[in-house]
Amino acid sequence: MGLSDAYNIDDLRRMAQRRLPRVAWDYLERGAEDDLTMAANRKALERIAFRPRTLVDVSERSLQHSLFGNTYTAPFGIAPTGAAGLYCHDADVALARAAAAAGVPFVLSTASFVAMERVAREAAGHKWFQLYMSKDRDAAERLVKRALAAGFEALVVTTDVPVGANREYNLRNGFAIPFRINARNVADGLLHPRWLTQVFLKTLLSDGIPRFRNVDSEEGGRIVAKDLSAFRARRDALDWSDIAWLRTIWPHKLLVKGILVAEDALLALANGADGVVVSNHGGRQLDGARAAIDALPEIVEAVGGKMAVLFDSGVRRGADIVKALALGADFVFFGRATLYGASAGGEEGVARALEIMRSETDRVMALIGCGRIAGLGRNYLEMPGSV
């Protein structure tokens, strides 16, 4: 099965599953604990129905959409995903390049295998930087200053990780970054020779053991590989004053990611953020958290247009994108969809995922009789329990 045989994101997902060893597949596909929130994201999106209008001339329709003064070819982008380099060689560059070619924004994770400066150099387009910060403000400031110098346009601070999630599958699989080689993942790697040679060994040969490049530190003139836990020090002590502080050192757009209630969206606004990302981290953090799409309406209403409201978590179809936009999201992001593409076919696979999302979104817009993204609203939706 080639990329052109992938007609939807689920096709790419199945291709990814075939190619990846267990340790990498589980890390991509699973949520936390019992995957309740992951399932809730899907169910909640699926329960929303369209109220399509008919006999509307949509022959001149467009997916173009503006955010923070930039116009994109579609109202969606690629969410930050750490350890993306497990899915294809130089995945962070591949994702950024595919986004640039498609004319949509890309968010680079703090936990990337490629240093932010190289991603900035090797990919054009609109790139934002996602920050995992700790209470160690010096460490945070070093990352922020690097992102600024490298030309990232926006800073996305992820706040739903005060402690690591309970991902038991990672423990069972011996998942660790810097990647540790053990008997189990050697055996698994040998059963997935394409991944072993084209992803793992290629990375090993070009860059050494896969690790988080942005958190490496220079000690005594030597680059020392750090795992993210070294950078996680006292992340559970963060509070809103840290957002206010970031506001003083970051001159561009500042977004807070991981917001699920209106009260926190208002605190983000009060502390100087330009927007929030309504997200439950794709169900990967607090299992049992509400579906992100269920949180969206109260946040849109509370914010009342005073800052941008972005959305992610559970998006697998263009229809999901249209639903979130109709509920008032200003832009929609997805994490797994493009990583399935990266796993299935590197940069081309990411491009295929973006193309699928684009054509599905366009088709749904035509079928509901709405020619422009700005024209979307609640009138196109029937919410569960509203009949």
Shortest distance in whole angstroms from residue 222 CB to ligand FMN: 26
The whole-angstrom separation of Cα 328 and Cα 308 is: 10
- Residue closer to ligand FMN, measured from CB, 192 or 257: 257
Contact region with ligand FMN (CB under 6 A), list: 176-184, 245-253, 262-270, 330-338: 330-338
243 binds ligand FMN (CB under 6 A): no
Among 134, 159, 214, 279, binds ligand FMN (CB under 6 A): 279
Q: Pick between residue 185 and residue 370 the one whose CB is nearest to ligand FMN.
A: 185
Q: State the residue number with the nearest CB to ligand FMN.
A: 335
Please report, as residue ranges, which positions from 127 to 146 form the binding site for ligand FMN (by CB under 6 A).
130
Q: Is 111 in the site for ligand FMN (CB under 6 A)?
A: yes
CB 49 to ligand FMN: min, Å: 21
- Kindly state the smallest distance separating residue 333's Cβ from ligand FMN, in Å: 7
The answer to whether 281 contacts ligand FMN (rule: CB under 6 A) is yes
Residue with smaller CB distance to ligand FMN, 41 or 271: 41
Residue 318 touching ligand FMN (CB under 6 A): no
Do the bridges between strand 154-158 and strand 217-219 make them parallel or antiparallel, or are there none, so unpaired? unpaired
- Name the residue nearer to ligand FMN (CB basis): 166 or 379: 166
What are the CB-based long-range contacts (under 8 Å, 24+) for 359-364?
359/318, 360/8, 360/317, 360/318, 360/319, 360/321, 361/63, 361/74, 361/75, 361/76, 361/318, 361/321, 361/322, 362/61, 362/63, 362/318, 363/318, 364/50, 364/318, 364/319, 364/322
User: What sections of 89-201 are H helices per DSSP?
Assistant: 91-102, 116-122, 137-150, 168-173, 183-190, 193-195
In angstroms, what is the minimal distance from the CB of 41 to ligand FMN?
6
Which span sits near ligand FMN by CB under 6 A: 182-190, 202-210, 297-305, 311-319? Answer: 311-319
Q: Would residue 281 show up in a list of annotated catalytic residues for this protein?
A: yes
Token reading at 176? 């660790």
**Separation between Cα atoms, residue 377 and residue 374, nearest integer Å:** 8
| 105 contacts ligand FMN (rule: CB under 6 A) | no
Tell me if 37 contacts ligand FMN by CB under 6 A: no
Q: How far apart are CA 19 and CA 28, in angstroms?
A: 12
With contacts defined by CB under 6 A, name the span among 48-56, 262-270, 334-342, 353-361 that binds ligand FMN: 334-342
Q: Binding marks (x or -) toward ligand FMN, 144..163, rule CB under 6 A?
A: --------------x-----
- Give me the least distance between CB of 57 and ligand FMN, in Å please: 33
CB atoms within 10 A of CB 279: 29
334 binds ligand FMN (CB under 6 A): yes
The candidate with the shortest Cα–Cα distance to 315, out of 26, 48, 20, is 48
Of these, 12, 22, 75, 81, which contacts ligand FMN (CB under 6 A)? Answer: 81
Q: How far apart are CA 95 and CA 347, in angstroms?
A: 6
**In the block, residue with structure tokens 């922020």:** 144
**222-244 burial: b if 16+ Cβ within 10 Å, else e:** eeebbebebbbeebeebebebbe
142-160 burial, b if ≥16 CB within 10 A, otherwise e? ebbebbeebebbbbbbbbb
Packed helices 137-150 and 240-249: angle between N→C axes, nearest 10 degrees: 40
Nearest to ligand FMN of 315, 329 (CB atom)? 315
Which residues are part of the catalytic machinery? 281
Residues that bind ligand FMN (CB under 6 A): 27-28, 79-82, 109, 111, 130, 158, 257, 279, 281-282, 284, 312-315, 334-337, 339
